[in-house]
Amino acid sequence: MFELENAKATQGLRRIAIDPVSRVEGHGKVTLLLDEQNKIHQVRLHIVEFRGFEVFIKGRPFWEVPVTVQRLCGICPVSHSLAACKAMDIIVGAKQLTPTAEKLRRLMHYGQILQSHAVHFYHLASPDLLLGFDSEVAQRNIVGVAAQHPEIAKQGILLRKYGQEVIHLVSGKRIHGTGAIPGGVNKALTAAERDELQKNLPQLIEWMQGGIQVMQRFYESNTAFHNSFGLFDSNMMGMVREDGALDLYHGYLCAKDAQGKPIFNRLNYENYTQVLREEVKPWSYMKFPYIAELGPEKGWYKVGPLARVQTCDFIPSPLAEAARKTLLAIGNGQPVHSTLSYHWARLIEALHALELIQSLLEDPDLLGKELVLSGQRQEEGVGVIEAPRGVLIHHYKVNEDDQVSMCNLIVSTTHNNQAMNSAIRSVAMQHLDRRVISEGLLNHIECAIRAYDPCLSCATHALGKMPLLVELIDAEGQRLSSLARNSNGECRADFSLG
């Protein structure tokens, strides 16, 4: 990807690249510009893959969309399917689903939240937290965790497995299922399947409470480091019920500033274009959303677990709500902005998902047979859901031939784009500035990114002209010429052979 930089500003600086960023979904890199004294001058997160779902979904029949958009990701396909289905519910005129259909969708979604949070914390983040940011790189992985903390590793595997089984039984497949359709669902749940899912739930809940205690002990063992690592203030956005409770499947958009004061509250998510804007920068394929009334400089925000547990007034399940209060108490009455607290909040949400699954499995509506509704056909639909990583927006228009004519996706990781860049700048200035750069220090940068559990392949969409770099390389690997285009459509050629 081509990055236009001021030649004078970067003259004499050296570049260090973390390429690729490891233990995240998708492909990205970080570049640091340093002078001879290792003073940090610039830190940027670059998303170096591009997937044009917003373009190639056009012209497809609208009923294909919930299955097609799942291919954005193998980690959170349920989230994309449900967000698309919620938009298509409006298109087919299903203003309200049957109780069975909505509860089956919710069950599927909570299974998704659980499995995604489990795989991130136990497989991707725990090596840093349990073994140390500077530990031996060959052992700083899930294999190393299994060797030193076998019970924790086992619990992580089984928690994820259970979430996957919930998805399997509701949607028909563990990955890229077809259970959710416009207007409802196409598969009922049997009593035997329900009974199978009820097995071992108390044990899973106990394990997740233990995971939260692991994270709390990590905080208490080095409070100063935890509170300062990647620290920056920002706005926050999440989805809540009408009574202010956290709702991961449906609700209203709510945004608060860095001090916890409302920016907008109980906004119908179909009106998201009234409050959100997106901008493009030439050094990344990922857009930069912001709150319109605050502008791009002050209006960016974070989403996901840490934002959600603070934009809501309460979590409507007792164990998770008690855990939320413990987390928020470390802020002494102020919002918690420490980057590593994302892991803590993520485990609280996983506990919440387990409690909700337990409650739904006791609901007789879950075994109902009325699965699909429809009504008066519409031309436009917006579907929003709280994906594991944060607010996920799917917006479609459909023409008279039932073909998608417009698609706009604002993915959870996209909302967090500026927040991740702010986090790595904070970490770089605190831990790398004017120091001898080592692998362990560079891993601190990656730890800040991992805290957001980014799904980079989901988030790579561009507006306007796509930045592009084309290079001609000879047989010896030497560059003969190049042609670069930035996001404004400006091109620059460099013919080194004259």
Q: Following DSSP, what letter does each residue of 406-468 receive, concatenated?
A: EEEEE-HHHHTHHHHHHHHHHHIIIIITTS---HHHHHHHHHHHHTT--BHHHH---SSSPPE
Residue 493: which pLDDT band, with cuts at 50, 70 and 90? confident
Distance CA 342, CA 218 (A): 13
Examine the domain organization and report whether 6 and 120 are in the same domain: no
Structural domain harbouring 26: 1-48+431-457
pLDDT computed for residue 296 by the predictor = 95
Final residue of a structural domain among 417, 444, 479:
417
- Boundary of a domain, candidates 355, 390, 417: 417
User: What per-residue confidence (pLDDT) applies to 52?
Assistant: 76
- The amino acid occupying position 226 is H
Domain assignment present for residue 263? The answer is yes
Query: How many domains does the chain divide into?
Result: 3
Residues 179 and 324 in one domain: yes
Q: Write the CA distances from 334 to 91, 244, 258, 260, 380, integer angstroms.
A: 42, 19, 9, 7, 40
Asked whether residue 94 falls in the same domain as residue 133, the answer is yes
Is there a single domain that holds both residue 231 and residue 334?
yes
462 part of a folded domain:
no
Same domain, 286 and 314: yes
Respond yes or no on whether the N-terminal peptide bond of residue 99 is cis (omega within 30° of 0).
no
**What is the C-alpha separation between 456 and 389, in angstroms, rounded?**
11
Answer yes or no: do 412 and 390 share one domain.
yes
Task: Please report whether residue 424 resides in a domain.
Answer: no
Which candidate, 114, 124, 262, 103, places its Cα nearest to that of 185? 103
**Is residue 65 a part of any domain in this protein?**
yes
Residue 422 lies in a domain: no
State whether 107 and 23 are in the same domain: no
Which pLDDT belongs to residue 467? 59
Is the pLDDT reported for residue 9 higher than 90?
no
> Within this chain, do residues 263 and 290 fall inside the same structural domain, yes or no?
yes
The DSSP call for residue 403 is: B
Same domain, 41 and 166: no
DSSP state letters, 332-350: TTS----TTHHHHHHHHHH
The answer to whether residues 452 and 319 belong to one domain is no
Q: What is the mean pLDDT of the chain?
A: 91
Least confident of 64-68, 99-103, 314-318: 64-68
Question: Which of 118-122, 256-260, 433-437, 478-482 is predicted least confidently?
Answer: 478-482
* Lowest-pLDDT choice from 73-77, 108-112, 255-259, 324-328: 73-77
Residue 425 falls inside a structural domain: no
Give a yes or no: residue 356 inside a domain: yes
What value does the mean pLDDT take over residues 135-140?
A: 94
Decide: 39 and 429 in contact? Cβ < 8 Å: no
160 & 285 share domain? yes
Task: State whether 167 and 289 are in the same domain.
Answer: yes
In a domain, 242, yes or no: yes
